[in-house]
Structure 1
Amino acid sequence: MILVLLFISACFLAFSNGANDNFKGVATLFGSGTTNYKKAINWATITTFSGSVAAIFLANQLVKNFSGKGLVPDELIAMPIFAISIACGAALTVFIATKVGMPISTTHSLVGALFGAGVMAVGLQFNFDKLGNTFLMPLIVSPLMAAVLSLILYLAFRFLRKRSGVKKSSCICINQKQADPQIKTASVTLEMSSLLEITTCKNKCIETYNGKLLGISAQRLLDSLHYLSAGVVSFARGLNDTPKIVGLLLIINVVDIKWSMIIIAVIMAVGGLLNAKKVGVTISKKITPMNSGQGFTANLVTGLLVTTASVHGLPVSTTHVSVGSIFGIGTATNKADYKMIGKILVSWVLTLPIAAIISGLLFKLLETIL
């Protein structure tokens, strides 16, 4: 019965992870107007699932890290209630954040839950050095690195675009103000010209690129690369996140690790399809407005960083890297919403202690009952 409860807890974490994280790889496709929400989430589901399957062969180190090995004594890892506490603590934290539309890190939630349950179980025997070096350092450094890289890369791409003769085009709106009824007939033409207000149409047209690169339409080439980069980010997320959840199932010897990966991947996909929109809108529309070129740049940086981290067993957060990349673009264009960024940062700060408290209390409760 306890092993069944562990499996259900891991599935709940996978569902919450999919709901909060699945759309992040394609957020710039939706935010830039390159495609609509439905097509974006479908593309995210396909590519994330592919990354989850690839994790069977490429991400064994992450599975070991998130089983708790090296952080706590081996005999504790063999206790199902330890893994249940971690899974439920992280899942509840992510689920709550999803309901309020905040894009938080499942990785950060898992680290907090590992810390809370581990300290509650073994106290000072917990390996605080490994927690800092293996888990916390990549989580802190990765969003800063992503923001700086995306800013630099965007400026470089913009320079190359201008040198290649590719120009941006947008549209304007001409709005007619209310005319003054005292206007004299003789001067009506002159007066009417002063009653026209020219503004940018923020919600009625999409910024596009005119020109050719390598004999191909610049906009068509960019859209194709944007889709590809979004797929890379989603693939990397599946590669990075799936083994973290599977690591909690290592003590269930009756479930093969390959089948565990596939089951978790399917449930993550379902969570994204059913419950991702609120977080998706936050990260797509509320951090900064962007066009397809800017979105492509952010995704390129995110995909490269998360994929590299996954292969080397570094538990970075796709959320932190993705938000950092988009914020870097907003900084370069001077359009970032710092108030929204502040709210997201607060949710990140609260993630670890909330997950730690929930998992620690749950471990104590389960230890008392069982």
Structure 2
Amino acid sequence: MADHDLDPSHLETLDRDLARLSSLEQATAFVGRSTVGLSISFIFILAVAAATALILGDAQNTVIVVIAAAFGAYMALNIGANDVANNMGPAVGANAMSMGFAIVVAAIFESAGALIAGGDVVSTIAKGIISPETMATPAMFIAAMLAALLASALWVNLATWIGAPVSTTHAVVGGVMGAGIAAAGFAAVNWGQMSAIAASWVISPVLGGLIAAGFLWFIKSRIIYREDKIAAARTWVPVLVGIMGGTFTSYIVVKGLKKLVKLGLPEALLIGLVVGVLIWLVMIPVVRKQAQGLENRNKSLKVLFAIPLIVSAALLSFAHGANDVANAVGPLAAIVQASSSGDFTHAIAIPFWVMIIGAFGISFGLFLFGPKLIRMVGSQITKLNPMRAYCVALSAAITVIVASWLGLPVSSTHIAIGAVFGVGFFREWDTARRMKASVGVASDAPRLDASERSRRKLVRRSHVTTIVAAWIVTVPAAAGLSGLLFVIIRTLIGG
């Protein structure tokens, strides 16, 4: 072999060429996946429309219901792409689950929640935002629901594209409000209910963040900062897992099993307490065995939180499927009922075939487009490990229970993202506090200038700004788009 063949400059050139080739392959693969994802989504929407046409046959207003089913399928895809990231992101970011495993678990439990425990009776027009009597005819009502469904789906699609996890419930509420205003004026809106929803923009993330930060402080003070971390973990991890098990039991009873069994909050809390104590007792020997041979360092503690974190992500997905599938198919069910019977002033039960559209749509959206938001929630806002992700998951469940007790309307999306913010900002505060303490001990320790302190911040401010801005504009943006679509749709279908 000639000497010039081993010239370092030639090797560097080869490395650069290989790097370019690798980047090109990755970019091509990404474009291919995006194209395939869009194609599969389009095929799914067409399949839903065709299946709906077969189910309805020559029934009245078949064309309108087929269009509504396509809009519902589109909305379900967007819910899967955006909303499910809040449940799986922390576990993936903490490396407790791989992306593929998380998507499979989420798809199974989202579908199970939707089909087993979903389909509870929904109100006539999305949570009482618009008075039913303001709609003069069934045709006007159908146009309003079509506009609300399409507008909310388009807005969630846009939010996913820019990388902002938003509340699909708020998008639907905004869509219904906008269509109602376009149909019957501002007097048709229940402004008291809208004020409560607006208050939840602040209450949900703040409450979620405070609870998550509180649990992280407890874990740090009782386990991480102890001299013998493993001994402390043997004492407290069973307690923490018991709290998580009891809380999630109450959470599932309150939010995920409404269709199967009607229990009040006191009964749900009592059941959760019993289950939590049992889990605590079971986990004592389990954790003791897991802790054998572990080194006395923080990395060892991650092993003890991995399985509880996976279980919590699965349960969050089940409850989410049971509750939020109505965002995709609630308006569709209302259209089906109004088209078949002309009745739109009474409560609406969701047919099973409509639930299947929602369940499959959420799963497809998660498979095709979910990873982008899962990565953002799990690793790009702040760095998560199993202990921090545990705090996020537990905070989501506790906050929903507290909100139910107080009668406050809250968003599961805002709670989960607020919990991630809370963990990140607590870490910033705790790191600054410890650095200040170390500077006080060592007088010769270097002091950081403002730019260095900013660089070391543990929460990415750009994501905070993007997400909060998307939260604020979700309702008005969906409302404005829905109002415009209502005018167009009503012109096309009449009424």
Give yes or no for TM over 0.5: yes
Distance 1:355 1:146 in 2: 25
Give the AA of the match of 1:336: V
The percentage of aligned residue pairs carrying the same residue is 27
Give the AA of the match of 1:365: I
Q: CA deviation at 1:65?
A: 6.7
In the other structure, the counterpart of 1:363 is 486
Instruction: Decide which moves more: 240-249 or 155-164.
Output: 155-164
Task: Give the secondary structure class of the aligned counterpart of 2:115.
Answer: helix
1:284 aligns with 2:372: no
Instruction: Decide which moves more: 120-129 or 287-296.
Output: 120-129
1:247 aligns with 2:330: yes
The alignment's TM-score, normalised by the length of structure 1, stands at 0.79
Give the AA of the match of 2:392: A
Q: CA deviation at 1:244?
A: 2.8
The alignment's TM-score, normalised by the length of structure 2, stands at 0.60
2:181–2:189 Cα contact (<8 Å) kept: no
Deviations 1:113-162 (A, max 9, x none): 12211111111332333432553333431111101111111111222324
Q: Kindly tell me: are residues 11 and 316 of structure 1, through their superposed partners in 2, closer, same or farther at Cα, counting changes over 3 Å? A: farther
Q: Kindly tell me: are residues 309 and 9 of structure 1, through their superposed partners in 2, closer, same or farther at Cα, counting changes over 3 Å? A: farther
Give the AA of the match of 2:222: L
Task: Give the secondary structure class of the aligned counterpart of 1:92.
Answer: helix
In the other structure, the counterpart of 1:340 is 463
Distance 1:245 1:363 in 2: 18
In the other structure, the counterpart of 1:319 is 413
Listed as ranges, the gaps of 5+ residues in structure 2 are 1-62, 232-285, 292-300, 341-348, 429-457
2:96–2:386 Cα contact (<8 Å) kept: yes
Q: CA deviation at 1:68?
A: 5.6
Higher strand share: 1
In the other structure, the counterpart of 1:5 is 67
1:93 aligns with 2:167: no
In the other structure, the counterpart of 1:71 is 130
Q: CA deviation at 1:41?
A: 1.4
Q: Which has the larger radius of gyration?
A: 2
Q: Kindly tell me: are residues 130 and 10 of structure 1, through their superposed partners in 2, closer, same or farther at Cα, counting changes over 3 Å? A: farther
Deviations 1:326-345 (A, max 9, x none): 11110111122223211211
Q: CA deviation at 1:55?
A: 3.5
Q: Kindly tell me: are residues 160 and 119 of structure 1, through their superposed partners in 2, closer, same or farther at Cα, counting changes over 3 Å? A: same
Give the AA of the match of 2:418: G
Distance 1:271 1:311 in 2: 33
Listed as ranges, the gaps of 5+ residues in structure 1 are 169-211
In the other structure, the counterpart of 1:223 is 306
Instruction: Decide which moves more: 243-252 or 105-114.
Output: 243-252
1:239–1:310 Cα contact (<8 Å) kept: no
1:166 aligns with 2:249: no
Distance 1:15 1:30 in 2: 21
In the other structure, the counterpart of 2:104 is 42
1:293 aligns with 2:387: yes
Q: Kindly tell me: are residues 132 and 164 of structure 1, through their superposed partners in 2, closer, same or farther at Cα, counting changes over 3 Å? A: farther
Distance 1:310 1:134 in 2: 13
RMSD: 2.7
Higher helix share: 2
Q: CA deviation at 1:223?
A: 0.6
Q: Kindly tell me: are residues 26 and 349 of structure 1, through their superposed partners in 2, closer, same or farther at Cα, counting changes over 3 Å? A: same
In the other structure, the counterpart of 2:52 is none
Q: CA deviation at 1:54?
A: 4.0
Instruction: Decide which moves more: 12-21 or 127-136.
Output: 127-136
Deviations 1:186-245 (A, max 9, x none): xxxxxxxxxxxxxxxxxxxxxxxxxx9444335443111111111122222212211233
Q: CA deviation at 1:354?
A: 1.7
Q: Kindly tell me: are residues 150 and 54 of structure 1, through their superposed partners in 2, closer, same or farther at Cα, counting changes over 3 Å? A: farther
Deviations 1:260-308 (A, max 9, x none): 2232111111111111122222111211001111111101111333467
Q: Kindly tell me: are residues 139 and 66 of structure 1, through their superposed partners in 2, closer, same or farther at Cα, counting changes over 3 Å? A: farther
Instruction: Decide which moves more: 334-343 or 264-273.
Output: 334-343
Distance 1:368 1:262 in 2: 31
2:134–2:184 Cα contact (<8 Å) kept: no
1:53 aligns with 2:176: no
Distance 2:334 2:408 in 1: 19
2:129–2:173 Cα contact (<8 Å) kept: no
